[in-house]
Amino acid sequence: MNFDFTDDQQAIKRTARDFLADRLKPERRRELAEGGEYDQGLWREMAGLGWTGIHLSEDHGGLGLGAVELAILTEELGYALVPSPFLASVAASLVVAHAGSGEQRSRWLSRLASGEAIGTVGLVTDGAAPLVPDADRADVIVLLDGLSGMVVEAGAAEIEPQPTIDSTRRFARVRAAEGEPLAGDPLPALDRIEVALAAELVGIAQRAMEMAVAYAKEREQFGRPIGAYQAVSHRCAQMLLETESARSATLYAAWTADHEPESLSLAASMAKAYAADAGWRVTSSSLQVHGGIGFTWEHDLHFFLKRARTDGHLFGSPRSHRERVAELAGLGPLGLAAS
């Protein structure tokens, strides 16, 4: 029983932390976010490091690693708040890898692994997927409707950009009359997407907590650092509890994906529900610690807060995941009204 990362896993974390700190300065991130753009050069470099295929088999040009390594990497992308189609594209390749036909896999996986193609996944309600990340630039869109799904080429879909509060990621509404049906059950892939999203939220929470703690040490009022007041320091302790608990739940869920798939559904819902709540609570609490400056556009915190809030709503709200936990924990299905 050991929660420690292996040397390779530590190397992934360190490389990602250093690389992103070096390549994505806060001014550049702000510039991208304000313009609603992504950095093509950065994307190519990330792909060159193998990140876009970290979870895909070597047959398809991936690194052949597991959900744990993907979570470690995704946490760092959240920590650095990288504007990029990484999560969307990984979501698409997860679904194609786990539920795609042989033809779909050979058609898309190598291109997604190399970063040459961009993919995304949308959840359909009432005939359309209302909020799909990066659909406007995607080459391939996977639309999931309940337990069935289809692969749609970008040209065959009706894509309508949607403004959201998260300017570090683009969103669109997607509707498609037809596509190629998936061959298998998309649920295992969907669970893995939820875990990756939870990992991104952990990274965001970690960063927002660090910002709050640093500010509480430096900002003085009434002649002492505000972090000396328990009203502030206990807020920060609460951030630590929630960030670490979200991390524990996420790493466990990623581990089940690789080693104990029968526990994945429950673990993924626990991770997503907890990390979504923690992501919001920690970023909003960090804003409170920052006081007025945290509410200004010129401070970076709001980018983190808005990404966390938006992430929380994607791929199942905390409410729907808690509902699934209640069901799997022993209360049984709620019935048709459940959602």
Partner 1 sequence: MDLTLSPQEESFREELRAWLAINHPGKEPEGDEASFEFRRDWQRRLAADRWAGLSWPEQYGGRGATLVEQAIFNEELAAARAPSMANVLGLLMGGPVVIAHGTEEQKERYLGPILNADEIWCQGFSEPESGSDLASLKTRAVRSDGGWVVTGQKVWTTLAERAKWCMLVARTDPDAPKHQGITYFVMDMDQEAVQVRPLVQITGEPEFNELFLEEAFVPDENVVGGTGNGWGVAITTLMHERSGIAFALQVQLKVALGELIDLIREQGLEGDPIVRQRLGQLYIEAETLRLNAWRGLTQIMKTGMPGPEGSLPKWQWSDINQALTELSMDVRGLEAPRADSDWTYRFLRARANSIEGGTTEILKNIIAERVLGLPRMR
Residues that bind partner 1 (CB under 8 A): 1-6, 9, 68, 213, 216-217, 224-225, 227-230, 233-234, 236-238, 240-241, 244-246, 248-249, 251-252, 255, 259, 270, 273-274, 319, 321-327, 329-332, 334-335
- Minimum distance between the CB of residue 236 and partner 1, rounded to whole angstroms? 5
Give whichever of 10 and 106 is closer to partner 1, judged by the CB atom: 10
Least gap, CB of 68 to partner 1 (angstroms): 6
Output 153 or 327, the one with its CB closest to partner 1.
Answer: 327
CB of 34 to partner 1, least distance (A): 32
Beta-sheet strand order (sheet of 180-181): 119-123, 140-145, 148-153, 180-181
Residue 124 sits at φ, ψ, to 5 deg, of: -85, 130
Q: How far is the CB of 246 from partner 1 (least distance, A)?
A: 8
Rg (CA), the chain: 20
Q: Return the number of the residue (40 or 230) whose C-beta is nearest partner 1.
A: 230
Query: Closest CB to partner 1 among 183 and 326?
Result: 326
Strand 224-225 relative to strand 158-162, pairing: unpaired
Query: C-beta of 252: minimal distance to partner 1 in Å?
Result: 5
CB of 337 to partner 1, least distance (A): 8
Shorter beta-carbon distance to partner 1: residue 9 or 164: 9
Closer CB to partner 1, residue 134 or residue 323?
A: 323
Contacts by 258-266 with C-beta closer than 8 Å and gap 24+?
258/66, 258/67, 258/68, 261/188, 264/188, 264/191, 264/192, 265/187, 265/191, 265/324, 265/328, 266/324, 266/325, 266/328, 266/329
Task: Determine which helix (DSSP H) or strand (DSSP E) holds 289, and give its type and residue range.
Answer: helix 264-290
Tokens 């875990």 belong to 195
34 phi-psi bin (left φ>0, alpha ψ -120 to 50, beta other): alpha
Beta carbons of 301 and 283 less than 8 angstroms apart: yes
